[in-house]
Amino acid sequence: MAEQESPEQRERRERLEAANGVSRRRSQLDDARAGQTGQGKQLDTNKVREIRADLAAGGDKAVERRHGKGALGSAEAQKAKAQRSNVRKHESRLREASAERAGSAKGSPVRADQAQKAQRAKEKFVAREREARATSAVSRGR
């Protein structure tokens, strides 16, 4: 049968066989990757977790001591550094927001006016109470 094929037919058949081989190989690779994903990912996340903890504890030198010089350039180290940076940014934003809230409670002109009015009202109340005690003491004969 191969002898009766025209050159175009043979070329077409070869292209189909090659395409089928490529797709078969791709599916095999995908299956292999799917099987390794769980364990490989777990190992990577554990290493990222360890490097992130080392970065927090002692910086790059701690990572270098524990994992070697090559570990600082690894994908896991880069991810750990990015995560650490994001944590620092988040903590910084929280501190700024807290300071802003504390500052606005103390330094706000509206709140300062309210605090002054409250203080004046308290002083007036205390003064009236003293007067009332003094007049009641006088009227009782003390």
Higher pLDDT pick, 38 / 54:
54
Task: Tell me how far apart the alpha carbons of residues 70 and 77 are, in angstroms, rounded to a whole number.
Answer: 10
pLDDT per position as a tens digit, 61-111: 888 888 888 888 888 888 888 888 898 899 999 998 888 887 766 656 667
Banded pLDDT at 126 (limits 50, 70, 90): very high
pLDDT per position as a tens digit, 73-86: 888 888 888 888 89
Cβ pair 80, 48 in contact under 8 A? yes
Write out the H or E segment, with its range, that includes residue 83.
helix 75-107
> Which of 8-17, 40-49, 88-97 has the weakest average pLDDT?
40-49
Q: Which residues contact 71 (CB under 8 A, 6 or more apart)?
A: 51, 63, 64, 77
Give the pLDDT of residue 140.
66
Q: Provide mean pLDDT across the span 1-8.
A: 76
| CA pseudo-torsion sign 47, 48, 50, 54 | positive
